[in-house]
Chains A and B, each alone.
Chain A
């Protein structure tokens, strides 16, 4: 942990102690996504969570009861699904059409749920919900067990970089609270999940309609289950921890209120910064030092990931929106080509010979996309393909005409993600994640000895070269001849 991260920790503790307001939360909201098929009771589960945490108001129930042909109550309990489906077409057809966001909180934490449809177009909506989620709740109907769709959902969740999964085995009341069946499904899922990169899987037997193991334990009907309820699990789930890495600051806009002030506004995507720190601007490579970190409340002595700030530098250099200010000692990739995974979101798919706008954080640049493989979600294998259709998950190569800075998505979700925009329709047609930079040194590798380039350099520069990232990365490919001596 760096010194700056410690400062941030101290600030947080102080804030917790000094805030006496009854519902002040000592953590940032947990964002999660719920995935399930149409009939496994997903809306009922979320409705139950909202109901039991008192996030539903009396007049909202009234509005549901007012709708013709729909009962506010079924089997003596509230028809929870109707709390959630907000659009008229959804209520008329009894299906969820678009991702909806729900908010609830407990004295310990607040939550943002992305509730996504379980049917057609689910990939597009799931990916949207999953892109900002820390955790995924996967729903299974205890009567039917694990279906192909469960595997698909787990696959998409894994691809989007979500590491924590809660497996809800719902409608357990309909199989007489059968422990053996619960154990069987949990074991089957754990086996299936081995191929994914999850760090935690928690299986919980629930009856959402009866509120068992959702917010309250079900000791009466499930004395054999001594694990946590869904709500407790969510309260205790850690926020996904970004990898510790160098400073990343995509520039949003330049602030020049008058001649005396020139600042760069943006949100810190990774790492931390303090006055005096040396920085590099990408793609230009120009360097400067940070002189001030300005915010509305105060001029700060540090900024950490997530902070929206204005940076002032110690010298005038050319910086525009879309540039990235980064630490000198830990930089992102800066290349012409990258490997990425992407998800096609519209009917036209992604065309191979077309130029699209790629937008990543604050930068927009033209790109061409070449498909290499498509994921077959039924078999969970990658198959060679040069076409990308709606809802396809694809491995692709991105080619740019000028260098662009990226981290991998695994390292940083902000500087490793992008969307594609079709310039003919302005629609967002794909979302993508950078998996690898393609090193342009490969292009320069000489074919034979006569093409080798020789440099004769003063020893100070040679030593600096030996310490450079470039040398450390490529020393096996670079032949060093001659001698150098220390003076």
Chain B
């Protein structure tokens, strides 16, 4: 008997990361009553979803996807999300904090926009679903406080994270025991780096939002950030002019808060080559990390991913 070769085998480094992620998916699905997967439509979410499909094959993904939609995501992200979930037959829950439209809270007018539309929205959506476990695509190499995360990150009933009092996590034995109301955030991509993600996307031919590839796009420069200007939701400040150049995005979030980079990397090989010579981290374009040092830790303590 011979294997039917459909694609070249993964290199052992990516294979080891894939095996670890599949193990985590199966553990959580087996040990928790009501898991959910946070799906942010970005490249890490795309990899996470691909791994979930692999973990449960030939069965379906045995939990819904939750998209916390601020209402300010890139238009292309929403189109991509709807296409993927329908193509794979996935159960998608999209949640927007009603305070956004009701109180007209936007990235432009409210200092606590991220807290309300992302962290608070996430807590409410998790409470609404009564989920006892939530998968996230966070990686330890992304940011200093994430480097201290467990694979199973215990959260109290108010979703808060206590980084100084985490459960010990030895070998690959995960402690999923919680009391009612408490929950666990599970991170199958903990040990992946940005480069691993891209090489895996290439090796497995995983579809991602086209904004990751360079194209000539209209943008404005605001506080040193390149903000995409192909959206009627963007209000130009006095004196701002729309420019055009080849740009792409290393991460995707809310479009007014996510800076692009000038780049001509228009396919996956060029993107990988660009990352290998990059001198700034991928989160460099994300305003959320920059409010003050330790910003991500504070958000995580309050229940952010």
- Which positions in A face B, CB cutoff 8 Å? 11-12, 14-16, 18-19, 21-29, 57-60, 63-64, 66-67, 84-89, 91, 97-103, 105, 110, 112, 124, 127-128, 131-132, 252-253, 255-257, 261, 263, 265-267, 275, 294-301, 306-308, 310, 321, 345, 357, 359-362, 413-414, 417-419, 421, 423, 426-428, 431
Contacts and interface: CB of A to CB of B under 8 A. Distances in A.
12 contacts: A15-B9, A23-B195, A58-B280, A67-B293, A88-B293, A100-B147, A124-B168, A132-B172, A255-B58, A294-B58, A296-B57, A307-B19
A264 B225 CA distance: 50
A426 B15 CA distance: 33
Interface of A is mostly: mixed
B284 interface: yes
A216 B19 CA distance: 34
A466 B53 CA distance: 48
B237 interface: no
Interface in B1-32: 1-13, 15-16, 18-19, 22-23, 26-27, 29-30
Interface stretch (B96-104, B107-115, B174-182): B174-182
Contacts of B292: 66
A294 B57 contact: yes
Given A98-B166, A253-B26, A263 B147 contact: no
Contacts of A253: 26, 29-30
Given A19-B11, A101-B190, A361-B172, 19 more contacts: A12-B12, A15-B11, A27-B13, A57-B281, A63-B293, A98-B166, A103-B141, A103-B191, A110-B13, A110-B193, A128-B169, A132-B171, A252-B23, A266-B26, A294-B58, A299-B3, A301-B3, A345-B168, A426-B179
Given A99-B148, A253-B26, A88 B294 contact: yes
Contacts of A417: 170-171, 173
A226 B179 CA distance: 58
A295 B30 CA distance: 18
A428 B168 CA distance: 6
A112 B191 contact: yes
B206 to A, nearest CB: 12
A86 B297 contact: yes
B4 A299 contact: yes
B30 A418 contact: no
Interface string B54-81: 1111111000000000000000000000
Contacts of B10: 15
A29 B30 CA distance: 28
B5 to A, nearest CB: 8
B175 A103 contact: no
Interface string B118-145: 0000000000000000000000110111
B9 A101 contact: no
B272 interface: yes
Contacts of B147: 86, 100-102
B279 interface: yes
A426 B177 contact: yes
A90 B191 CA distance: 22
B60 A98 contact: no
Contact of A29 (B13, B27, B280): B13
A57 B26 contact: no
Interface in B195-246: 195, 199, 202-203
B33 interface: no
B86 interface: no
Nearest to B166: A98
A59 B26 contact: no
Interface of B is mostly: loop
A124 B140 CA distance: 20
Given A59-B280, A87-B164, A132-B171, A306 B16 contact: yes
Contacts of B19: 267, 306-308
A253 B304 CA distance: 30
A11 B167 contact: no
A265 B26 contact: yes
A273 to B, nearest CB: 14
Nearest to B190: A101
Contacts of B53: 296
A86 B145 contact: yes
B12 A296 contact: no
A14 B11 CA distance: 9
A60 B147 CA distance: 14
Given A89-B164, A255-B58, A418 B23 contact: no
B175 A428 contact: yes
A357 B171 contact: no
B276 A22 contact: yes
Interface string B278-290: 1111011000011
A15 B279 CA distance: 30
A21 B13 contact: no
Given A19-B8, A308-B23, A127 B30 contact: no
A427 B202 contact: no
Contacts of A275: 1
Given A252-B27, A426-B179, A431-B170, A298 B12 contact: no
B75 to A, nearest CB: 27
